[in-house]
Chains A and B, each alone.
Chain A
Amino acid sequence: MIEIASLVAIASIAISIALNIWRLSKGPDLLDRVLALDTMVINAIALTIMIGIWYATPVYFEAALLVAMVGFLSTVAFCKFVLRGNIIE
């Protein structure tokens, strides 16, 4: 049963990433694209955790944590750059 649920979850995460890529390419504004990238990072974390559940290893936890941190930092740095034209003043 977990196999079926995992496959459904992985398929819906893949559809979510496809929708995010559509918004990333179409997005009328710069910040739409930043938001689409942020959501893509969230979906990438979910996909990493799904790989960890599928192979039943704890290795992918560290990867998911690192992806979460990199995504948060890059979004904040991008917004700071849009706001001030500089990241560290």
Chain B
Amino acid sequence: MTNDMPFWLELIVSALLIVGAFFLIVGSIGLAKLPDMMRRLHGPTKATTLGIGAILVASMIHAGATRGYLSYHELLITLFLFLAAPITAYMIAKAHILCDRATEAELTPTGTDAPWSTLSSTEEEEKAAAEETAERA
């Protein structure tokens, strides 16, 4: 590591590293400690957005200070993770609801005549998939 950075820049990079590390460990403690699956899903999102985001910004500033030019390509990882995190959370939540039939009874009512869209589409989809496989066979 090189030590030719001005003090205020070192201070910013160190603060961002500490903030990122704090959020990463908060996310993992949440994953380990929270009582059920849907609540556990809530913890690591902080690690994904704030933790990785702060560490990547620290990496950008550090690279800009040591190499003389600011590197923007760390923002690519941030952008990719911001796009990917909701999709993974959605997939895990949907798979959990559909896998575990006991959780369907625990879902709060929607307040309208329509049921939960995740559940209402499944029977038709299953019927269509069964017809499709029957046609293929």
Contact = CB atoms under 8 A, between A and B. Distances in A.
The answer to whether A and B assemble together is yes
Interface of A: 1-6, 8-9, 12-13, 15-17, 19-20, 22-23, 29-32, 34-36, 38-39, 42-43, 45-46, 49-50, 52-56, 58, 61, 64-65, 68-69, 72, 75-76, 79-80, 82-83
A52 B59 contact: yes
Interface string B78-119: 001100100110011011101110000000000000000000
B56 to A, nearest CB: 6
Interface residues of B, number: 54
A76 B14 CA distance: 34
A49 B98 CA distance: 36
A3 B94 CA distance: 42
Given A6-B17, A53-B59, A61 B11 contact: no
Interface in B38-82: 40-41, 44, 47-48, 51-52, 55-56, 58-59, 62-63, 66-67, 71, 73-74, 76-77, 80-81
Query: DSSP class of B's interface residues: helix, strand, loop or mixed?
Result: helix
Contact of A79 (B66, B84, B92): B92
Interface of B: 1-2, 5, 10-11, 13-15, 17-18, 20-22, 24-25, 27-29, 31-32, 37, 40-41, 44, 47-48, 51-52, 55-56, 58-59, 62-63, 66-67, 71, 73-74, 76-77, 80-81, 84, 87-88, 91-92, 94-96, 98-100
A16 B88 contact: no
A54 to B, nearest CB: 6
B107 to A, nearest CB: 16
Contact of B92 (A16, A34, A49, A52): A34
B17 A8 contact: yes
